Amino acid sequence: MIKSSGEWMRGTGPEAEIVISSRVRLARNIRGFRFITKMDATERGSCETLIQNAILDAKIAQPNMYMPLHKSEGLDRKFLVERHLISKEHEDAQHHRGVAIGENEAVAIMVNEEDHIRLQVLQSGFQLPEAWKICNRIDDELEQRLEYSFSPQLGYLTACPTNVGTGMRVSVMLHLPALVLTRHIEKVFQAVGKINLAVRGLYGEGTEASGHFYQISNQVTLGRTEDEIVKNVQDVIPTIVGYEHRARQSLLSKDRKRLEDRVWCAYGMLKYKHVLPSDEAMMLLSAVRMGVHLGLIKDLSLRTVNELFIFTQPAHLQKLTGRALEPMERDIKRADFVRAKLAQCKH
Amino acid sequence: MGMKCEVSNCENEATVHLTEIREGKKHEMHLCERCAAEKGLPGKSHFSISDLLAGIASQAQQQAQKPKRGKEAACPVCTTTLTQFQSSGRFGCPECYTTFKEDVLGLVEKIHDAAQHVGKVPKRVSSEISLQKDLRQLQLDLKRAVRKEDYEKAAAIRDQIRQMEEKVKAEESQAQADAPALPKPATPPVPPPGHGKKKTDGGEKK
């Protein structure tokens, strides 16, 4: 996995220059089991086995792509978080739990997270209905093999009532550097807040919007059909993407020199730096990514920039190096990695 | 009043609190909405789940203080109490939704502005629901037949109901095993033929 990159990092798909990825996740619990917090070790173990067998039987993941996380190394778990395949909570937990990863990393099923099953489908670019279609199909497959906890009134029963009903969270990851630079990002939050959607940072709940990445997602999971929830998020994205496009064009037309300076400085820094802390890398890559989209930088692809964002994360760097690294060593390795990668691109 | 925004010279109250774990270190930021927006951070979401949970908590405490003298009600399956739910925000098992139904429905309505699921239904459940619907219809037909003193028809319907009930039971026992299952509407016993009320009006046609 360290050598490859997930489907969603490809920088393809509709609106890929601004919409990084589209994600749909479903929360499900198995009837006959308590929720995670009240389970003892035996119950967690048998719940995990039951779900694991169903996943493998349905051929959603290859047997070697089911990872029992309680037996795994901390670094491997961090790596999966950076890849958006497991949550931070899943990384940190202590009990019996796992993750199944499907082809191209487009599908990931967390087992024994906050709910027994957290099924996610990640697609590159703006492809929410497609992500939902895949997710729904996999959910059907699992449903044939497992009995879900379900109430006709409250729908799929989840450990937290914020997920009850459809158990569905739909989110879109956006790259909005120009709206931040032009100080219009607040308008986005206002527009989004009005229609019951949430804005979060790169790695979900409680994380900072580093690298100018923002996740827009639904909050309401009950009283609407899955299609309506998808549509609710789907409808707001073109407006935000439109704002970002306009902000980028206005920077180009009204402040071109300063924009070019920002983009090229960032590119130069990435090409020549020898010590590169994570925050700095994110900010520089963000400017470069915008420069690639606006045609200022012509010898780099969005895919390369997307991959650099992920491969320069701490666990990725350590996996690439093959050992644990101290923070300073990481900053040096990060700079080395970025320099080497950018040197491969012709100027 | 809570804490102040950490941006220098800003006197506003910090309402945006961000915690990030970056390279194993915890970074905290406390900002007002304006400074957060200036830094390009998401503002406070439109509702706060902790506020809602706090609301539930005060209800739970009031209930606990009621002159019941006993302990706070706990879920029979997982022993979770409403106070525990308030502090964790998580239920212990699906049965909690039934145990704390009144509080849950109130909370759920506040969060989602709805109290009825309209989305996907597992195929197994949808067939169960339709089976029960058929069963209810048959029971109505049976009552009607008895009322009309059409005992031959009533007996036939009764047999049909028995068959269906057995099917439901078989499915339940197979699926349930050790499940803390959700309560199903109980099926009223089939009245023996000839025990029905007398015809009251001639309103219904065969």
A271-296 pLDDT per residue, tens: 999 999 998 999 999 999 999 999 99
A119-161 pLDDT per residue, tens: 999 999 999 999 999 999 999 999 999 999 999 999 999 999 9
Compute the distance between CA of residue A301 and CA of residue A290 in angstroms, rounded to an integer. 11
Residue A259: in which H helix or E strand, if any? helix A256-272
pLDDT confidence of residue B199? 40
Could you give the strand order of the β-sheet that contains A98-101, starting from the edge strand earlier in sequence? A66-68, A98-101, A107-111, A117-124, A19-28, A168-175, A213-218, A197-200
* Cβ-Cβ contacts under 8 Å, A42 against chain B: none
**Could you say which residues from 60 to 79 on chain B have a Cβ atom under 8 Å away from some Cβ of chain A?**
77-79
Which residues have a Cβ under 8 Å from the Cβ of B131 and sit 6 or more positions away? B164, B167, B168
Does B29 lie at the interface with A, CB-CB under 8 angstroms? yes
Tell me the ipTM for this assembly: 0.85
pLDDT confidence of residue B25? 60
Mutate to test the interface with A, among B90, B126, B128, B171 (most CBs of A within 10 A): B90
User: Is 50 exceeded by the pLDDT of residue A20?
Assistant: yes
A37-96 pLDDT per residue, tens: 999 999 999 999 999 999 999 999 999 999 999 889 999 999 999 999 999 999 988 888
CB contact under 8 A, A189 and B37: yes
Compute the distance between CA of residue A152 and CA of residue B133 in angstroms, rounded to an integer. 13
pLDDT confidence of residue A86? 95
Percent of chain A with pLDDT over 70: 97
**Could you say which residues from 106 to 145 on chain B have a Cβ atom under 8 Å away from some Cβ of chain A?**
107-108, 111-125, 129
CB contact under 8 A, A193 and B125: no
What is the distance between the terminal CA atoms of chain B, rounded to a whole angstrom? 73
Reported as a pLDDT band with limits 50, 70 and 90, residue A3 is confident
Helix and strand totals (H; E) in chain A: 12, 10
pLDDT confidence of residue A207? 53
pLDDT confidence of residue A112? 96
E-strand ranges in chain A read 19-28, 66-68, 98-101, 107-111, 117-124, 150-151, 155-156, 168-175, 197-200, 213-218
Compute the distance between CA of residue B144 and CA of residue B5 in angstroms, rounded to an integer. 72
Tokens 């935000």 belong to residue: A240
A171-196 pLDDT per residue, tens: 999 999 999 999 888 878 887 888 88
- How distant, in Å, are the alpha carbons of A176, B27, B36, B203 from that of B40? 9, 17, 6, 71
CB pairs under 8 A between A and B: 175
User: Is 60 exceeded by the pLDDT of residue A117?
Assistant: yes
This prediction has a pTM of 0.76
- A68 in helix, strand or coil? strand
| CA nearest to A219 within chain B | B112
Closest by Cα among A346, A345, A318 to A332 = A318
Low-confidence ranges of chain B (pLDDT < 70): 1-2, 17-27, 37-71, 171-206
pLDDT confidence of residue A114? 95
DSSP letters spanning B106-137? HHHHHHHS--S--S---HHHHHHHHHHHHHHH
Compute the distance between CA of residue A234 and CA of residue A157 in angstroms, rounded to an integer. 25
pLDDT confidence of residue B167? 76
pLDDT confidence of residue B102? 87
Closest by Cα among A289, A71, A29 to A161 = A29
Q: Is the dihedral of CA B178, B179, B183, B188 positive or negative?
A: negative
Reported as a pLDDT band with limits 50, 70 and 90, residue A205 is low
